[in-house]
Amino acid sequence: MENLSKYDQVFISNLQVTQGMLSTLTYQSVPAWDSVGHMGLIAQLEEAFDIMIDTDDIIDFSSYQKGKEIIAKYGITL
Amino acid sequence: MKIVEAVWEKRNLGVVCKEITFEAHDSLEDLSGIKALVEHTEYLVVKVPTLRYDLNQAIAAMGLSFIEVSIHFELMLKNALLSGLQTRLNNSITYAEMEVRDLELLFDEIRDGMFASDRILLDPAFTSEQAANRYIHWIQDEIQRGAQVYKILHKNQSVGFFTFKEIKEGIYYPFLAGMYKAFAASGLGFTTLRKPIDEAIRRGGQMISTYTSSNNLPVVRAHIQQGFSISGMYYVFIKHN
């Protein structure tokens, strides 16, 4: 639960979205989630969970939900 | 004030087009000299430097519609910026000059609506086919004039492209760039700006000079994030007759 809260907060602080928007949030669905926003989001997730995300996973990280699957690959239980 | 008969647009768009560019020192009286052009040119494009509110208002009063701000960017290569994460990603992305089959893929992507913020595509007076043809002809013309077109590669798969042209010694102009549809949501968009920088550095250049539309906010943000500074801005107005 703590990890999920941390995961959510990275999105909320980076992309200026509300908790209620997260479940359907996808790349480019809000102006802040563009190429620049994506880099900020991934960098903060790496810092928050002390992981290094592979290039393929960064490219595949296309939504809040997809991101959960990707983060789980690094041993993080959300 | 400079008036250009944009003959290439007759082939690209099928209309007679003139482009008028005002400079900061032009006076309101200069407008009287373009009245006939405003009333009779099939497709008129007028560019006005920012801060000339008087010209903006007068041009709008002549029946022209505002469509975008053309934002001109410059980057001294020594000032180029990349975050640690971007550097890591950039090192895993390569580029290579296009061959004929690569150009066909690029042209298919353009026909599929690659440049969604383009003022021609956004203009209901034109079709998506006209907008695509304009870009394809532009690239073909520039190749004839000596420009290069590069594919951006991730694991040998084309994910996007950039163009490259030397406009003065050591100054390069990547006049078009973009990501392919399948990779538009990959976060790799920054490489369409960074790979031209890498190529300019490889050639021993000093500067990148380019411009983009205010209608394309992600690209504006990407330029600023990578260290570009704004060298000028023009309000762009259009009129169809």
B141 within domain boundaries: yes
Query: In this predicted complex, what is the ipTM?
Result: 0.92
* pLDDT above 70 for A1: no
CATH code for position B119:
3.40.630.30
From the number of C-beta atoms within 10 Å of its C-beta (0-12, 13-18, 19+), residue B112 rates as exposed
B239 within domain boundaries: no
Model confidence pLDDT, tens digit, residues B164-217? 999 999 999 999 999 999 999 999 999 999 999 999 999 999 999 999 999 999
For the ranges B29-33, B65-69, B218-222, the lowest mean pLDDT is seen at B29-33
Q: What is the mean pLDDT of residues B53-57?
A: 93
Share in percent of chain B as helix, strand, coil (round to 5): 40, 30, 25
User: Any residues with CB less than 8 A from the CB of A50 and at least 6 apart, and which?
Assistant: none
| Domain match, B215 and B116 both | yes
Put simply, the answer to whether A59 touches B188 (Cβ < 8 Å) is: yes
Taking any CB pair shorter than 8 Å as contact, residues of chain A touching chain B are 26-28, 31, 34-36, 38-39, 42-43, 46, 55, 58-62
Per DSSP, B68 falls in state E
Structural domain of residue A28, as residue ranges?
2-73
| Domain match, B78 and B67 both | no
Q: What is the mean pLDDT of residues A1-11?
A: 94
Put simply, the answer to whether A35 touches B92 (Cβ < 8 Å) is: no
Residue B56 CB coordination number (10 Å)? 19
| Domain match, B130 and B66 both | no
Report the percent of chain B where pLDDT is more than 90.
Answer: 96
Q: What is the mean pLDDT of residues B124-152?
A: 96
Tell me the CA distances in angstroms from B90 to B93, B102, B154, one per residue in order: 5, 21, 10
Put simply, the answer to whether B185 touches A27 (Cβ < 8 Å) is: yes
Instruction: Return the higher-pLDDT residue of A78 and B152.
Output: B152
Q: Residue B85 is nearest to which of A26, A43, A62, comparing CB atoms?
A: A43
With H, G, I as helix, E, B as strand and everything else as coil, classify residue A54.
Answer: coil
* pLDDT above 90 for A34: yes
Contacts with B188 from chain A: Cβ below 8 Å: 35, 59
CATH code for position A40:
1.10.1200.10
- Of the residues B71, B104, B121, the one at which a domain ends: B71
A78 within domain boundaries: no
pTM for the model stands at: 0.93
Interface test with A, best of B83, B153, B186 (most A CBs within 10 A): B186
Structural domain of residue B17, as residue ranges?
2-71
From the number of C-beta atoms within 10 Å of its C-beta (0-12, 13-18, 19+), residue A10 rates as buried
- Residue B161 has a pLDDT of 98
Closest residue in chain B to residue A27, using alpha carbons only: B185
B66 within domain boundaries: yes
